Chains A and B, each alone.
Chain A
């Protein structure tokens, strides 16, 4: 049994990372050449880590499911990346970013991790600028910033509405540089199917070549998982179609603990759902809340008329509009954190004030900003987002307010990792969205890019050496070991089983059904009864899947239905663990809102007495109840209190 040891260094908060680096073990350059590292996933975290490992001299094998590392879903992040440069002279500091992130995460993340994240945020910006990331600049030639939710300072660096794209292309460039140098070997169109453990350590992976269907074995001295989040368990989310949780889930089934699986971020500003054929949801960047004002009609009869199509939003006078975020949260207004903004939208829609033909939408209005700054200024800031909206909705947001509604966007939960980003399996590390660390129960905007790059550029290159230092005597592994043999055989059997069912339901039809269960019971509002029901429904659906799914084609070819079926089989297990975790956590915190636990004003009501811990789940076998381990979270530097965005 592995015990949960977070390995947080001793000493004052501000000196922990420095003292870790001072005392850690390093690997000398000649030995680095003899050590192999597998990196699965080449988004921001994976690409930055793989490139940095390569620069250090390790031999790296990097894997991605796409045809090119440049397509990872980090590319879709729009708004920006936080860093404590304090270029605006508005009072930012490492401590303030640390504080905002802990508070934003509703006091469910580790102080030491978050402080380190804030510490390395500045060097990330330096690194990206040196790589040629074209961040927005002021006329004087220096970098510009904007504001994001949950902060009172402007610390978000951005490249128009395409910050994720530009940062990913920077990391991709660094990765390409190392591929060219020969230190990184890139394997594209490979999907990780299993983790191989030899003598208790992660020593390799089994991947499926999605073009040929061939199963391949790869070995290494350490494995880094940077495979993103599992938000597509909801079917509809802002994740890319190929984003999936399978690699992390296979690691869980091999013994890695899963941390806080129920912590899901529902982003407040997405384009609303519009039809049952819909395949995904599109985010409208949080940066829009810098200038857009969110409202619904004050009078229920106006909302009714809008839903019927007999009244237009522009015909409602200002007095009859309810700018509910400004009303409820005067200090932060439209820039409250995402969980708060999402719940407030749901509350208004549930109360009958929602707009759009379904009543499941609120307005994000730029009229004031256009009057104040002019249309050109708004276009310069948000032009590509407005265009994206218009293409989807067929309405011009310059003339009529945008309609938005919350949607699943990010998963704070993930593989449990210690301070070194190592999972409970020695030699298996997890980075970026795939791990659970840093964001607690709610992630602040523009912090995902920061975390992915901090893990990859500035944390793992140190911590992985501390692990590898005692592996220098271990020769390169052959993949004909029985452990590899068995893992490959298991994967092969799983695939054959899926192909042999030949049932009557498509993968997507079952996935949509799972999505409905998750959204209705494990979504924005959760309660004990609904969660218990969800577990039962998911189990039944899982049974149906294994009896009724229809997967045409062969295993030895491009087979998209098979890829989807493999992922869905895992989602049908992930969903249950999420519901179970949500059911056991009898409190509300961040994105986890249990309807039974709220303040009289409808705010999340934490229970620090009983739940100030990370829930780390251990797999005990198929269909068996997982075992809960608790890592208690200590706060030595921050006073824990109820989150308040009403006053500063």
Chain B
């Protein structure tokens, strides 16, 4: 069906971070998997490992995942030192084993950031992202209060740029990739999406200030322009969004607009 890779198969060594809970000390455990098809996805390879572990009476490796088509943002994993693994512009669930070679050793770790504590094994707590959105990452419009959709024209260029930013899936790879564990790419994507649209302007100044201060409060670092976030973002969100956010932030400060 899929390109004829079926006759090849791979034997791999996996070094996986195991940690019982947030308080426990973690460690790497080594596992072997054999006969892995190159057409198998990375998470399916972990499913195969887990089936094996269950039959051996060992607790399977816990990891977050859901849609398995690169859109829900649930999957994470630091694979061989890179968020979402070696391929570009995809999530871990879209990574396929054809990117690896027979005999490879693969190191699998959770996201590591102060604001994303480990829950168990490869699962981390990313609820800090929700808390940032909750303080103002939206347009305050109640159901039923909207004017006709075409009464607000938006230039195609702005609509497209807004969509580019809105493509963020909130996976946290940007934070995991950043040496400062900064959430600037994540926040700037939401700030940009809404700032580029006329509907988002009335709250723009308040929004950017309150989201940034929430980010600081939650223990995320700041941006020092290494662009690691852009390089590792599975949705290829651009750092120009951070520039736009900074401009929004400064202009809000300079104009003395209130946060609340």
- Whether a CB of chain A sits under 8 angstroms from the CB of B51 is yes
| Nearest A residue to B55, CB-CB | A506
- A126, B150: Cα distance in complex, Å: 8
Q: Indicate whether A279 sits within 8 Å of B41 (C-beta atoms), given known contacts A129-B149, A130-B139, A357-B1.
A: yes
Query: By CB atoms of chain A within 10 A, which of B127, B149, B153, B170 has the most?
Result: B149
- A462, B15: Cα distance in complex, Å: 55
Q: Indicate whether A275 sits within 8 Å of B62 (C-beta atoms), given known contacts A76-B72, A361-B1.
A: no
Query: B135 — which chain A residues lie within 8 A by C-beta?
Result: 180
- A197, B98: Cα distance in complex, Å: 52
Q: Distance (Å) between the CB of B49 and the closest chain A CB?
A: 11
Which residues 129-181 of B sit at the A interface, judged by CB distance below 8 A?
129-130, 133-150, 152-156, 159-160, 162-163, 166-167, 169-170
B residues bordering A, Cβ < 8 Å? 1-6, 21, 37, 39-41, 43-44, 47-48, 51, 54-55, 57-60, 62, 64-74, 87, 89-90, 94, 96, 98, 119-120, 123, 125-127, 129-130, 133-150, 152-156, 159-160, 162-163, 166-167, 169-170, 193-194, 197, 199-200
Contact B147–A130 (Cβ < 8 Å): yes
Beyond A129-B146, A132-B194, A393-B3, 9 additional pairs, beta carbon < 8 A: A131-B138, A131-B141, A141-B155, A179-B134, A277-B47, A279-B44, A280-B69, A394-B96, A394-B98
- A458, B143: Cα distance in complex, Å: 8
Contact B70–A508 (Cβ < 8 Å): no
Contact A508–B51 (Cβ < 8 Å): yes
Provide a sorted-by-A list of 21 A–B residue pairs whose CB atoms are within 8 angstroms: A48-B143, A66-B72, A67-B125, A68-B127, A69-B130, A76-B72, A87-B150, A130-B146, A132-B197, A134-B163, A134-B193, A141-B156, A173-B138, A274-B2, A275-B37, A279-B41, A391-B90, A394-B39, A552-B59, A557-B21, A560-B62
Contact A174–B126 (Cβ < 8 Å): no
| Nearest A residue to B147, CB-CB | A126
Contact A388–B69 (Cβ < 8 Å): yes
Closest 6 CB pairs of A and B: A173-B138, A141-B153, A130-B146, A126-B146, A134-B163, A134-B162
Q: Indicate whether A393 sits within 8 Å of B149 (C-beta atoms), given known contacts A127-B144, A173-B137.
A: no
- A394, B66: Cα distance in complex, Å: 22
Query: B127 — which chain A residues lie within 8 A by C-beta?
Result: 67-68, 188
Q: Tell me which of A147-155, A157-165, A614-622, A623-631 binds B.
A: A157-165
Contact A123–B144 (Cβ < 8 Å): yes
Q: CB within 8 A of B66: which of A73, A134, A357, A557?
A: A73
Q: Distance (Å) between the CB of A242 and the closest chain B CB?
A: 5
Q: Indicate whether A55 sits within 8 Å of B147 (C-beta atoms), given known contacts A76-B69, A180-B135, A388-B70.
A: no
Contact A282–B153 (Cβ < 8 Å): no
Query: A68 — which chain B residues lie within 8 A by C-beta?
Result: 126-127, 129-130, 170
Q: Distance (Å) between the CB of B129 and the closest chain A CB?
A: 7
- A360, B1: Cα distance in complex, Å: 8
Contact B74–A129 (Cβ < 8 Å): no
Contact B143–A174 (Cβ < 8 Å): yes
Q: Distance (Å) between the CB of B45 and the closest chain A CB?
A: 8
Query: B136 — which chain A residues lie within 8 A by C-beta?
Result: 180
- A345, B37: Cα distance in complex, Å: 28
Query: A280 — which chain B residues lie within 8 A by C-beta?
Result: 68-69
Query: A393 — which chain B residues lie within 8 A by C-beta?
Result: 2-3
Contact A67–B3 (Cβ < 8 Å): no
- A309, B3: Cα distance in complex, Å: 10
Contact A558–B152 (Cβ < 8 Å): no
Q: Distance (Å) between the CB of B134 and the closest chain A CB?
A: 4
Query: B134 — which chain A residues lie within 8 A by C-beta?
Result: 176-177, 179-180
- A576, B35: Cα distance in complex, Å: 35
Q: Indicate whether A126 sits within 8 Å of B62 (C-beta atoms), given known contacts A275-B39, A550-B54, A558-B120.
A: no
Q: Distance (Å) between the CB of B131 and the closest chain A CB?
A: 9
Contact B146–A176 (Cβ < 8 Å): no
- Whether a CB of chain B sits under 8 angstroms from the CB of A22 is no
Q: Distance (Å) between the CB of A363 and the closest chain B CB?
A: 13
Contact A127–B146 (Cβ < 8 Å): yes
Query: By CB atoms of chain A within 10 A, which of B126, B160, B163 has the most?
Result: B163
Query: B4 — which chain A residues lie within 8 A by C-beta?
Result: 309, 357
- A165, B96: Cα distance in complex, Å: 23
Query: A557 — which chain B residues lie within 8 A by C-beta?
Result: 21, 120
Q: Distance (Å) between the CB of B58 and the closest chain A CB?
A: 7
- A123, B149: Cα distance in complex, Å: 8
Contact B154–A141 (Cβ < 8 Å): yes
Q: CB within 8 A of A137: which of B51, B159, B167?
A: B159
- A94, B5: Cα distance in complex, Å: 50
Q: CB within 8 A of B159: which of A134, A177, A360, A558?
A: A134
Query: B129 — which chain A residues lie within 8 A by C-beta?
Result: 68
Query: B60 — which chain A residues lie within 8 A by C-beta?
Result: 552, 560-561
